[in-house]
Amino acid sequence: MRGTSIRNMFLLLVLFGGAIIVSELRFYELVPKKTLDELRSRLKKAQRFEARVKAEAAATLPPKLGADFIAEPLLPLPSSFSDVGKKTHPVENKMSVIIHHATHVPKLKPEWKITPDMKGKFFVYQPSGGWGNQRLILGWAMIAANAMNRTLILPVAAHHSNFWQNFNKHKPEDVTPMHKILDIDALSKALINGVRVSTLTIPDLEILLEHRTWLRYEKPQVLRGTTKENWWGDKFIRSQWMKKRTPDFIFWHKTSMWKCCGAELATRNWLNRHIIFHKHLKALAKLLAIPLGKFNAVHVRRNDHVGGKNSDRASPEVYYARHELGRFDKNIPLYIATDEVDHAWFDPLKNALGFKRLMFWNDLNKGILDRALERYPLAMRNDVLGFIEQLICANGVMFEGSVKSTFSFAIDFIKRHDLLRELHFQLPSRPVSMSPYQLPPGKM
């Protein structure tokens, strides 16, 4: 009886194996060999990439950074930046490195440029909203581009606008290419087929490349027949979209990208480690924060999102209580990043609640800040100031933000991850000549 059972199991296995072989043979007959080889190659590449992502994400994080970057041995500080070039000054090397990167004008490398005849298959996505939302959408676009095994086209950054159609109405002189904001070298390391950086608005990019083949798609935001959000995982995107190899450009347009794509937590964290600001902005934040010494920071978003669940900033007293600012050391400066124009609104924090010194963006070195902002379009300067303030706030000893604010979320995310904190603030150190940089003197 037992022998019969084993024999039957063996016969079933043989029949099952034969069925697989027949189905494989039929597949081979229907699909050209060149296409099969390409699919196998892409699949292996994607599998290797996924394995590397998981391995790096699971690796032990480096030890905590210890002293805050502001506590680096940069003191005594020069009375003005004209003193930095003097060989007798004890901090010339450190200051020269920081000032070099702060005055560096980001350049677009040839391999990142978009040209009408560039070879490859590409994924284009539609940004929208303010910088916080544009950054979130970039993270989702990276998931989609990797799942499709396509090169990511990185759109320009623009000032806050509601919905995709208003984003596409920005004038060319009002937008900024991403290589002037983000570290593209770091970003490209997280993408299987790299990245190309657009210097054009989305409509102008489509005109430049109109002679190429395009597939435009609008992804539904909710599942059919329900009100549930329609999140797509990387594995689902890979199964549905990696085989769409005919068009040169796949463009998820209109509302496709909002609440779009998901991946495992380890993969998301690994991708986020590569979305970091350009060293030019990191150095600016370091330079501008030196006079603060040791400080705490808050972000108080006032001009919208102040009602209902976000009533935490109805008044300074309410914010103080809700966010337990009594934990903060009141003898050190409190840096306040805010969209509130009337800074006197915060006076109760000083007069009644005991903070010795309140600091805002207009207390930073005006000469350095103005020179840095002049490199960006007028419409983007408040946004660039926001990038610098995010970096400053993330280096406070303690930080409190505003509910439902992506600006606050980004700061908090950096502070909670030592590795991200290091990536956001490390600067390449190399000998530089101070002679090309004639920065205006500032009160230090």
Q: Which helix (H) or strand (E) holds 216?
A: strand 214-217
The pLDDT of residue 73: 29
Contact 189, 274 (CB under 8 A): yes
- Rounded-to-integer distance, Cα 215 and Cα 123, Å: 10
pLDDT digits (tens, 9 = 90+) for 394-407: 888 899 988 878 88
- Rounded-to-integer distance, Cα 414 and Cα 422, Å: 9
Place of tokens 């610098």: 388
Exposed, middle or buried by CB within 10 Å (0-12, 13-18, 19+), for 251?
buried
- Rounded-to-integer distance, Cα 2 and Cα 9, Å: 11
Q: How many CB atoms lie within 10 A of CB 144?
A: 25
Distances (CA, A) of 291 to 99, 101, 294, 359: 15, 18, 9, 11
CA 262 to chain CA mean position, Å = 16
- Rounded-to-integer distance, Cα 105 and Cα 108, Å: 10
One digit per residue, the tens of pLDDT, for the chain of length 444 reads 555 555 555 555 545 555 444 444 444 444 455 566 666 676 676 667 656 655 554 443 333 322 233 223 223 333 333 333 444 444 445 566 666 667 677 889 999 999 999 999 999 999 998 888 899 899 999 999 999 999 999 999 999 888 888 899 999 999 999 999 999 998 998 999 999 999 999 999 999 999 999 999 998 887 777 778 888 888 889 888 877 778 999 999 998 888 888 777 667 777 877 888 988 888 888 888 888 989 999 999 887 655 555 567 788 898 888 888 999 999 999 999 998 989 999 999 998 899 999 999 999 988 888 888 888 999 999 999 999 999 999 888 899 988 878 888 888 877 775 444 555 545 443 332 222 222 223 322
Read off the pTM.
0.72
CA 45 to chain CA mean position, Å = 25
Q: Which domains does the chain have, with CATH numbers?
A: 53-101+278-444 (3.40.50), 110-272 (3.40.50)
Residues facing residue 86 across a β-bridge:
none
Give the start-end residues of each E strand in 254-321.
261-262, 296-300
The pLDDT of residue 54: 52
- Rounded-to-integer distance, Cα 57 and Cα 61, Å: 9
10: which 2 tokens? 């063996």
Comparing C-alpha atoms, which of 409, 385, 388, 387 is closest to residue 399?
409
The pLDDT of residue 20: 42
- Rounded-to-integer distance, Cα 300 and Cα 280, Å: 26
Q: How many residues does the chain have?
A: 444
- Rounded-to-integer distance, Cα 354 and Cα 333, Å: 11
- Rounded-to-integer distance, Cα 249 and Cα 151, Å: 9
The pLDDT of residue 21: 41
Place of tokens 């940089």: 437
The pLDDT of residue 440: 28
Q: What is the number of alpha carbons within 13 Å of residue 361 lying toward its C-beta?
A: 24
Q: How many CB atoms lie within 10 A of CB 409?
A: 17
- Rounded-to-integer distance, Cα 155 and Cα 157, Å: 7
Contact 175, 383 (CB under 8 A): no
